[in-house]
C-alpha cells in the first residue's frame, strides 16, 4: 500500500454519521466507551468492535477465548498484562501496542499491571474466511519504536499503514491503516485514504475538531465519526488553545457474511456451532485450554 502525503485531495471524505459513546461495563468491573459493536453500529466492515477502556484493579478482563479476528490494543495510560494458553505473557504500557491475530483460537487474560486507571483502545478487526483458521500470532511494538512524523503543528504515530512519509512495520492480514494524530491549535491535515475503504475517526482529546469540510460543525472527544466516500480526510483544529487528538482508522471491506457469538466471529451459524463445540471440548485449536488458567 502506498499512500501519498502532502498532496491535495481531489475528493475529501465528508462526515457521514457521528455517534457519542457512553460508558458501559464489560469484563469484570471494567468500563468501556463502545463505538463500534453497539446497537446503533453493530459492524463497520471490516471492524467489529472499538472500545475506549478504563480499568482499575481489581477490575479487568479475566480468562476468555477468541476466534476468527484480530485484536489491536493501544495503551494511552497505565499498563495491562496479557497472558495466554500458549505461554505468551507480557505487559504493554503507555504508548505500546499489541496486534494479536487470534485466528483459529486464543484463550487469554488482560489485567491491570499498575495502580490507578489503565486507559487505552481496543479494536477488533475481522478476518476473511480464508484467514479465520490461521495459527495465532502477535506483533508488539513498544512506545519508543512506534514510528512518528511531525510537520507544521501536526504529529502522527503510525500504528499501521503510512502517513507523512512514515510507515509502520505492522503486517495486516486485513489491509488496515491506523493513525494517531495530534494537531496543535490552528493546524490542519490532509491524509490520503484508499478509495473504496471504510474509514472512521475517533476523537480522544479536544472539543473543536472539524472533519471533512471547513463548514462542518466541531466534534468533541468520545465521538466516533464515520466518513463517506473519497480519497482522504481533511481535518482542522479550530481551537485557539487546546490540542486535538484523534485516531483515523481505515480498512478494506471484506464483503462477507458475519455471524458473531460473543468472542467468536465466523461466516456461518454452522461455523459458530463448531467453534463452540471446539472450545467446550478443547479441540481444533483450543487443546491447551483444557489445563490452563492465567496467573492473574
Decide if 15 is inside a domain: no
Asked whether the predicted pLDDT for residue 3 surpasses 60, the reply is: no
Q: Are residues 168 and 112 in the same domain?
A: no
Residues 212 and 268 in one domain: no
How many domains does the chain divide into?
2
pLDDT for res 8? 76
Which of 20-24, 124-128, 154-158, 253-257 has the lowest average pLDDT? 20-24
Same domain, yes or no: 226 and 125: no
Task: State mean pLDDT over 115-143.
Answer: 97
Instruction: Give the mean pLDDT of 230-238.
Output: 97
Average pLDDT (194-220) is 95
Residue (of 203, 185, 287) closest to 245 by Cα position: 203
pLDDT confidence tier of residue 242, bands split at 50, 70 and 90: very high
Is 184's pLDDT higher than 60? yes
Give per-residue pLDDT as tens, 56-108: 999 999 999 999 999 999 999 999 999 999 999 999 999 999 999 999 999 99
Together in a domain, 148 and 242: yes
Instruction: Give the pTM.
Output: 0.95
DSSP 240-276: SS--EEEEEEEE-------EEETTEEESSHHHHHHHH
Quick one: 50 and 121 in the same domain? yes
Whether 171 shows a pLDDT value over 90: the answer reads yes
Whether 5 is in a domain gets the answer no
Query: What pLDDT is attached to residue 133?
Result: 98
* Residue 5: pLDDT over 50: no
Q: What is the mean pLDDT of residues 221-234?
A: 97
Taking 80 as the threshold, does the pLDDT of residue 197 lie above it? yes
Query: Do the Cβ atoms of 237 and 186 come closer than 8 Å?
Result: yes
State how far the Cα of 76 lies from the Cα of 122, in Å rounded to an integer: 11
Q: Is 153 among the domain residues?
A: yes
Q: Are residues 245 and 269 in the same domain?
A: no
Does one domain contain both 73 and 220? no
* Confidence band for 241, pLDDT divided at 50, 70 and 90: very high
Q: What percentage of the chain exceeds 70 in pLDDT? A: 98
Q: Report yes or no on 44 lying in a domain.
A: yes
Tell whether 247 and 268 lie within a shared domain: no
pLDDT over 90, % of the chain: 94
Whether 8 maps to a domain, the answer reads: no
Whether the predicted pLDDT of 135 surpasses 90: yes
Q: Does 24 have pLDDT greater than 80?
A: yes
So what's the pLDDT on residue 7?
57
Give the model's pLDDT for residue 296: 75
Indicate if 156 and 231 belong to the same structural domain: yes
CATH number of the domain at 164, please. Answer: 2.60.120.10
Whether 49 and 189 share a structural domain: no
- 26 & 43 share domain: yes
- Measured between alpha carbons, how far is residue 85 from residues 65, 88, 244 in Å? 10, 7, 39
Return the pLDDT at 174: 97
Residue that is written with C-alpha cell 484493579 in the block = 57
276 belongs to a structural domain:
yes
Sequence-distant (≥ 6) Cβ neighbours of residue 14 within 8 angstroms: 212, 213, 216, 227, 228, 230
CA 91, CA 113: separation in Å to the nearest integer?
7
Q: Residues 268-296: what's their mean pLDDT?
A: 95
Q: Is 2 within the bounds of a domain? A: no
Residue 206 confidence (pLDDT) = 96
Mean pLDDT of 123-150: 97
pLDDT bracket for residue 114 (50, 70, 90): confident
Over residues 127-139, the mean pLDDT reads 97
Asked, for residue 90, whether it belongs to a domain, the answer is no
Q: To the nearest whole number, what is the mean pLDDT of the chain?
A: 95
**CB proximity list for 262: less than 8 A, separation 6 or greater:** none
Q: Are residues 205 and 71 in the same domain?
A: no
Domain limits for position 292: 21-79+108-138+257-296
Amino acid at each position: 500500500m502506498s499512500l501519498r502525503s502532502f498532496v491535495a485531495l481531489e475528493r475529501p471524505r465528508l462526515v457521514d454519521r457521528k455517534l457519542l459513546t457512553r460508558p458501559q461495563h464489560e469484563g469484570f468491573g471494567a468500563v468501556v466507551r463502545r463505538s463500534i459493536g453497539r446497537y446503533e453500529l453493530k459492524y463497520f466492515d471490516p471492524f467489529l468492535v472499538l472500545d475506549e477502556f478504563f480499568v482499575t484493579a481489581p477490575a479487568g478482563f479475566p480468562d476468555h477465548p477468541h476466534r476468527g479476528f484480530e485484536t489491536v490494543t493501544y495503551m494511552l495510560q497505565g499498563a495491562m498484562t496479557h497472558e495466554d494458553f500458549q505461554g505468551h505473557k507480557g505487559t504493554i504500557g503507555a504508548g505500546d501496542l499489541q496486534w494479536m491475530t487470534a485466528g483459529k483460537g486464543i484463550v487469554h487474560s488482560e489485567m491491570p499491571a499498575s495502580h490507578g486507571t489503565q486507559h487505552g483502545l481496543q479494536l477488533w478487526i475481522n478476518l476473511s474466511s480464508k484467514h479465520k483458521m490461521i495459527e495465532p500470532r502477535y506483533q508488539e511494538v513498544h512506545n519508543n519504536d512506534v514510528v512518528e512524523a511531525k510537520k507544521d503543528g501536526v504529529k502522527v504515530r503510525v500504528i499501521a499503514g503510512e502517513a507523512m512519509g512514515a510507515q509502520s512495520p505492522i503486517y495486516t492480514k486485513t489491509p488496515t491503516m491506523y493513525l494517531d494524530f495530534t494537531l496543535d491549535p490552528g493546524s490542519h491535515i490532509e491524509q490520503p485514504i484508499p478509495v473504496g475503504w471504510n474509514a472512521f475517526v475517533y476523537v480522544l482529546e479536544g472539543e473543536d475538531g472539524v472533519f471533512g469540510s471547513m463548514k462542518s460543525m466541531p466534534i468533541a472527544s468520545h465521538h466516533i465519526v464515520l466518513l463517506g466516500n473519497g480519497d482522504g480526510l481533511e481535518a482542522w483544529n479550530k481551537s485557539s488553545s487546546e490540542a486535538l487528538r484523534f485516531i483515523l482508522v481505515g480498512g478494506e471491506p471484506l464483503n462477507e457474511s458475519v455471524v458473531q457469538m460473543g468472542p467468536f466471529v465466523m461466516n456461518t451459524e454452522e461455523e459458530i456451532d463448531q467453534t463452540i463445540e471446539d472450545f467446550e471440548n478443547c479441540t481444533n485449536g483450543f487443546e491447551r485450554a483444557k489445563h490452563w488458567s492465567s496467573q492473574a
